């Protein structure tokens, strides 16, 4: 794979570009089949881009259910059918054993799993319900988690490995807000959504702790558009839902939704 591909991606993405290029080349040149761990949407985009550059390779993405954010990929020579390839995804059911009054959230479940030494890319989407959650994981670690995961935050939990057909997806909840902004600049909208000063928002953006559509963005003046998902480390995520129009004073009315 030519190094000119780097110019299309952020420097921080180069290690993944190298790995993905190796998977694609091995599939095309050596007829190997590769099943990845879970990829975020940006990684899936990079991989798909590289696959499209190779005439003899194709890819299948699957996160365990329709609309999954994090997905595993199978990369293979184009003569090999992918529909029947096992994606290796299991559902880990985690339920508070004592109906703990604690309200456990996505971060609590994620932290408990990572605390057992599991890498982030072994974990897919996490669907939080009242007193329980369904977590999509690679089947290679499902049994390990089923044996060793016994506490989330301060709540004792019971676990069970379920088939994908038993998955109960959770509805994505957004705290919607209407804003009047001077422009569609990233720093301006983010400061209004998170109710922080622009100076405080600019710092993590310039430090590389902000992603727009899962791509690292260090430019506070980046123009957002409808549908963009913005994630700032330590602050969470929001989505620009709609650009509604311009006020008489020239400001822009937008609707944003903060993930809760």
Q: What is the CATH number of the domain that holds 45?
A: 3.30.1370.160
Surface-to-core class of residue 141, CB atoms within 10 Å of its CB (0-12 exposed, 13-18 middle, 19+ buried): buried
Question: Of 138, 166, 194, which marks where a domain is finished?
Answer: 166
Question: Of 21, 42, 77, which marks where a domain is finished?
Answer: 77
pLDDT of residue 30: 97
Query: In whole angstroms, what is the distance from residue 47 CA to residue 18 CA?
Result: 10
pLDDT of residue 99: 66
pLDDT of residue 171: 86
pLDDT of residue 8: 82
pLDDT of residue 258: 95
The domain of 225 spans 174-259
Q: Give the pLDDT means over successive 10-residue stretches in the chain (260 positions).
A: 74 94 97 98 96 97 97 97 96 86 86 97 96 96 98 94 96 92 97 95 96 95 97 95 94 94
pLDDT of residue 126: 97
Q: What is the CATH number of the domain that holds 216?
A: 3.10.290.10
pLDDT of residue 4: 75
Looking at the fold, whether 73 and 30 belong to one and the same domain comes out as: yes
How many CA atoms are closer than 13 Å to the CA of 252, on its beta-carbon side?
Answer: 18
How many CA atoms are closer than 13 Å to the CA of 136, on its beta-carbon side?
Answer: 28
pLDDT of residue 39: 98
| Count of domains observed in the chain | 3
Looking at the fold, whether 14 and 59 belong to one and the same domain comes out as: yes
In the block, residue with structure tokens 């700032």: 232
Q: Is 83 part of any domain? A: no
- The model's pTM: 0.86
pLDDT of residue 173: 85
């Amino acid at each position: 794979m030519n190094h000119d591909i780097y110019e299309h991606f952020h420097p921080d993405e180069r290690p993944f570009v190298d790995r993905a290029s190796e998977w694609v080349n091995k599939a095309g040149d050596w007829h190997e089949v590769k099943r990845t761990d879970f990829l975020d949407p940006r990684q899936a985009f990079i991989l798909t881009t590289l696959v499209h550059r190779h005439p003899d390779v194709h890819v299948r993405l699957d996160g365990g259910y329709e609309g999954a954010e994090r997905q595993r990929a199978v990369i293979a020579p184009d003569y090999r059918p992918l529909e029947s390839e096992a994606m290796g995804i299991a559902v880990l059911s985690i339920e508070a054993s004592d109906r703990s009054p604690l309200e456990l959230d996505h971060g609590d479940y994620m932290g408990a799993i990572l605390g057992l030494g599991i890498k982030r890319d072994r974990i897919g989407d996490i669907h939080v319900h009242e007193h329980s959650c369904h977590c999509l994981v690679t089947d290679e670690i499902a049994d390990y988690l089923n044996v060793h995961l016994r506490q989330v935050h301060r709540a004792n939990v019971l676990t069970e490995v379920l088939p994908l057909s038993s998955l109960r997806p959770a509805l994505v909840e957004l705290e919607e807000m209407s804003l009047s902004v001077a422009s569609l600049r990233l720093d301006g909208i983010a400061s209004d959504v998170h109710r922080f000063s622009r100076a405080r928002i600019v710092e993590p953006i310039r430090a590389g702790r902000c992603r727009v559509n899962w791509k690292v963005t260090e430019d506070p003046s980046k123009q957002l558009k409808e549908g963009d998902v913005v994630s700032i480390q330590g602050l969470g995520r929001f989505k620009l839902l709609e650009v509604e129009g311009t006020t008489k004073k020239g400001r822009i009315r937008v609707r944003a939704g903060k993930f809760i």
